[in-house]
Amino acid sequence: AQTVTQSQPEMSVQEAETVTLSCTYDTSESDYYLFWYKQPPSRQMILVIRQEAYKQQNATENRFSVNFQKAAKSFSLKISDSQLGDAAMYFCAFSGNTPLVFGKGTRLSVIA
Amino acid sequence: SAVISQKPSRDICQRGTSLTIQCQVDSQVTMMFWYRQQPGQSLTLIATANQGSEATYESGFVIDKFPISRPNLTFSTLTVSNMSPEDSSIYLCSALAGQGARETQYFGPGTRLLVL
């Protein structure tokens, strides 16, 4: 079974600074996808970024980028130029031949 | 992408009663899922809602407690039966949309359930 581990229950960042959220996973599959979802207080799950395992190039979406290390099974999220609206729970998720499996989440606070 | 709506958005129920949550997707999708998010926790998959056949339940979830319907490719319901306070959670509907490598799971806004 796949597992996803987020070792940082809480993180904080100053507005306009950069923060990195960690995620590791365990799987025996070779073809899979990794995701970061954001859940603000409204509780709506919002897709932030996705990475295909077969792609070596790290995914980027505006201020959000990932550092995907397949051999280490690591998938961290970097948020640049942090904004107040980035404050939320961030969940790392894995998808292979099964529906999404989520980590426990990291609560990100942004300090003005 | 897919836009997913859920009804009700929240409810307060008495123990022993049942509540049916509806999920509507704005496009036809092959796979729909139901997740539970207990207070302060991550999302746990309850079941995959299969169109035209019985849902596939994850370990720890059973059909008698969480019956699911999937009458077509855009709609599903989840019933929480014989509720107890331990069922107080957010229930989220999800659908797999997109083509090939762009397939992604999208989520509804969730139904916040409080059982007294």
Instruction: Give the rounded percent of residues in chain A with a pLDDT score beyond 70.
Output: 100
| Residue B60 pLDDT greater than 90, yes or no | yes
Other CB atoms within a 10 A radius of the CB of residue B112 amount to 17
Can you give the pLDDT at residue A43? 86
pLDDT band at B30 (very low <50, low <70, confident <90, very high): confident
Q: What is the DSSP string of A1-34?
A: --EEE---SEEEEETTS-EEE--EEE-S-SS-EE
Q: Quick one: pLDDT at residue B101?
A: 67
Could you give the C-alpha distances from A111 to A13, A41, A82, B33, in angstroms and in order? 6, 16, 9, 36
Interface contact A45-B107, CB threshold 8 A: yes
pLDDT, average across residues B56-68: 95
What average pLDDT score do residues B71-87 get? 96
Average pLDDT (A51-76) is 94
Nearest residue, CB atoms, A45 vs list B41, B92, B96: B92
Give the type of residue at B86: E
- Of A47, A52, A104, which has the smallest distance from its Cβ to B101's Cβ? A52
Q: Which of B42, B89, B104 to mutate to test the interface with A (most CBs of A within 10 A)?
A: B42
A43 touches chain B (CB under 8 A): yes
Nearest to B13 by CA among B110, B93, B82: B82
CB A59 within 8 A of CB A68: yes
Residue B112 Cα, gap to closest chain A Cα (Å): 10
Q: Characterize B84-93 residue by residue with b for buried, 16 or more Cβ atoms within 10 angstroms of its Cβ, and e for exposed.
A: eeebbbbbbb
For chain A, the average pLDDT equals 94
pLDDT in tens, A81-101: 999 999 999 999 999 878 899
Chain center to CA of A101: 12
Measured between CB atoms, does A52 come within 8 Å of chain B? yes
CA atoms within 13 A on the CB side of B34: 32
